[in-house]
Structure 1
Amino acid sequence: MANRAYNFNAGPAALPLEVLQQAQEQFVEFDGTGMSIMEMSHRGKSYESVHFETEALLRELLNIPDGYKVLFLQGGASTQFAMVPMNLLSPGKVGAYVHTGNWASKAIKEAKMFGETAIAASSEADAFMRVPSVAELNIPENAAYLHLTSNETIGGTQWAEYPKLDSVPLVVDMSSDILCRPLNVSQFGLIYAGAQKNLGPSGVTIVILKEELIGKPSMPVPTMLQYATHAKSDSLYNTPPTFAIYMVNLTLKWIKKSGGAAAMERVNREKAELLYEAIDGSGGYYRGCAQPGSRSIMNVTFRLADEELEKRFVQQSEEAGFVGLKGHRDVGGLRASIYNAVPVDSVRALVAFMKDFKQRNG
């Protein structure tokens, strides 16, 4: 479509055009039912077929082994910041966290409300512009779990490899990079991800957790905030976000049709390389924020000489049809979020704009 924006929003983010078009076609009437999927009972066969197919697609695309539950919850990653310690912490145990920036900080803040926490590693001394190495991890012997944020959208850092742990479950917030590459799910005790960056629209949160971690919490926890509640009812204890789950279903089918997680990684790395080459090859005009060894393939962050020039960049980029290039309000700068659904052509167009902007404003 000629009038589609170059969408680099950090979230909610770009969705595949063909997914949007298919949803448009089925918006008023789904699968010959005479009604929209938003209008039907979540207990009916038509919706349940979508619900369980979505779970099956996730299991296939992520190669989720037996012994794991897949849940469709609400509240985004922000609710998971609290649900994790509420369900996994117990007296005498400590929640261990790797502090890599804004989202890790919020997870730590929530955990402190429910029990003891410890910082197993931190990149604060480097302004969160890198990810700690596995060798830096100092996990307490009484840790209930180790929590890390896979991809920090604000700083533009990402774990290239995850630590392999035997002693404690690894809990990871993958909201901004799930299914951007293949994953060995058996390394993890719990994975959670808001869908609104790589999997679909806002409104549903994916949780993948080992069945052995599902139990009665050691503290009083509201029914809706217990993993066991949703695991027992296949995420149908209450009315789930049916339309958001349907959109995840269509997005997962698009990922499968496109070649799966391995194909997503190839394209994502191509997009990231285009942008980082434009930044690094600009003679210092553009300056990458994250340290090279920790650079994200989902969120590319960079700066210009001063804030006035960055404001001009944002203004002129918007006039040229680019959306979402302003950096997060907490750190400023510039950011291009290149999630799965962002086409390579959009990145090529951005690189061309960056070169043109330098010529006109250098």
Structure 2
Amino acid sequence: MITTKRAYNFNAGPSALPIEVLQKAQEEMVNYNNSGMSIMEMSHRSKDYEAVHNDAIARLRALYSIPDNYEVLFLQGGGSLQFTMVPMNFLGKEQTASYILTGSWSEKAIKEAKLFGQVQEAASTKENSYRNIPALEEIQFSETDAYVHITSNNTIYGTQWKEFPQTGAVPLIADMSSDILSKPVDVSNFGIIYAGAQKNLGPSGVTVVIIRKDLLEKANTNIPTMLKYSTHADSNSLYNTPPTFGIYMLGEVLKWVEEKGGLEAVEKNNEEKAKLIYDVIDNSNDFYRGHATPESRSLMNITFRVANEELEKQFLAEAKEAGFVGLNGHRSVGGCRASTYNAVPFETCKALAEFMIEFQNKHQ
């Protein structure tokens, strides 16, 4: 059993995992299901692993009420490979895709799409330093678009979509790498949802793709085998050796979410955790300044600056000494960031809020 002192872990990813899941993995590490082997040692064609694989798919389907006309895939390459796979499969040379720019990851996604076809910015908040999510009425896309792409949560800038655009017959594709499993979502509003696991789903190494089956039938076939979604859909994500341990851990995280009361209960807990920290920011008389506008604030990544650069450095240094990990903002923007993913305990967020108040009282 894990008995060592745990850090106050606010890493943006890979991020905190539920202690109960880590303890379960520790117990089963060298002898899974009395097989005499770790899950990492057994064949991905074995009955033991097949049961783990299929159970993870079934639990994800149940938690999100995923309709039967969607496939659930376990891929590799992180969300970043999806920046390439999406246009490679669905953006023809004579087609246009619309991308909504809300941060660095959507910038990376549109850059990859330009290699395969025409793209347009359906909306962007770059001029406002990505402080907010575009208003729905600002989004301009065409009914002839191959798809519309969004990033549901922006880890670097701390913004999150509260309401998704309605794109009608045009498939809406969402990179949900940093807020998947954090709240209920109506999957039927999307053509594709994809997410790297390392924020809320499990350890890094596995990527979940939820894809509507009719899109598979329309996909480009003149591309490499491993980059076709159909390859993985046709083989239950077992065309080649999958990231078996990552999928095992993902399944255990899904069980943990079920035990916590499902996605509605997880969302409520996330709201309460984030409120602890946002309240300190809002009541600090600008000693702490949030980056995101209030209506676009993320429940997963809380980004802020301290009164001045010297105090900010001191804040981060003292926080590190006090046991807080991962509070530095992304290297591209600086500042501070507290990532409060599902597995970050309420008590950890409370400890940070209390530290922030104490620091302000000492230095204002």
TM-score category, normalised to shorter length: over 0.9
Which of 110, 126, 129 is residue 128 of structure 2 equivalent to?
A: 126
Give runs of aligned pairs for residues 35-46 of structure 1, distance below 5 A.
Answer: 35-46=37-48
Q: 1:21-170 counterparts in 2 under 5 A? A: 21-170=23-172
Asked if 1:187 is matched to 2:181, the reply is no
TM-fit CA distance, 1:216: 6.3
Cα shift readout 1:39-65 (whole Å, capped 9, x = no counterpart): 000001000000000000000011101
Deviation at 1:218, TM superposition (A): 3.3
Give TM-score scaled by structure 2 length.
Answer: 0.98
Match of 1:6? 8
Amino acid paired to 2:193: I
The AA in structure 2 aligned to 1:287 is R
**Please, what TM-score do these two structures have when normalized by structure 1?**
0.98
1:1-362 correspondence runs (5 A)? 1=3, 3-215=5-217, 217-218=219-220, 220-362=222-364
The Cα of 1:2 is off from its aligned counterpart by 6.0
Please, what is the CA RMSD of the aligned residues? 1.0
Q: Which runs of 5+ in 2 are unaligned?
A: none
2:90/2:218 contact within 8 Å kept:
no
Letter in 2 for 1:251: V
CA–CA distance in structure 2, aligned partners of residues 304 and 223 of structure 1 = 49
Per mean C-alpha deviation after superposition, the further-off stretch among 301-310 and 237-246 is 301-310
CA displacement, residues 142-169 of structure 1 (integer Å, 9 cap, x when unaligned): 2100000000000000000111221200
Q: Separation in 2 of the partners of 1:70 and 1:217?
A: 16
Aligned residue pair count: 362
Contact 1:156 1:299 in 2 (8 A): yes
Secondary structure, aligned partner of 1:172:
strand
1:297-326 Cα offsets, whole Å, 9 max, x none, are 000000012222211111110100000000
C-alpha separation between the residues in 2 aligned to 1:248 and 1:293?
A: 31
What do the CA deviations read for 1:238-277 (whole angstroms, capped 9, x no partner)?
A: 0000000000010000000100100010000001111110
Matched-pair contact (CA < 8 Å) for 1:16–1:341: yes
Query: 1:16-47 deviations in whole A, cap 9, x for unaligned?
Result: 00100000000000000010000000001000
Separation in structure 2 between the aligned mates of residue 166 and residue 238 of structure 1, nearest angstrom? 35
Q: Unaligned regions of 5+ residues in structure 1, if any?
A: none
TM superposition shift of 1:217:
4.0
Distance 1:177 1:215 in 2: 28
Aligned-partner residue type, residue 249 of structure 2: M
Once residues 257 and 331 of structure 1 are traced to their aligned partners in structure 2, the CA distance between those partners, rounded to angstroms, is: 37
Q: CA deviation at 1:291?
A: 0.5
Distance 1:224 1:169 in 2: 23
AA in 2 matched with 1:236: L
Distance in 2, Cα, partners of 1:184 & 1:104: 22
Structure 1 position 124, deviation (Å):
1.1
What is the CA–CA distance in structure 2 between the aligned matches of 1:65 and 1:132, rounded to whole Å? 29
> Identity over the aligned pairs, expressed in percent?
58
Following superposition, the deviation at residue 140 of structure 1 comes to 2.3
| Superimposed CA distance per residue, residues 61-113 of structure 1 (whole angstroms, 9 cap, x where no aligned partner) | 11101100000000000000000000111232111100111000000001011
Amino acid at match of 1:357: F
| Matching residue's letter, 2:212 | K
Conserved in 1, the CA contact under 8 Å of 2:328 and 2:337?
yes
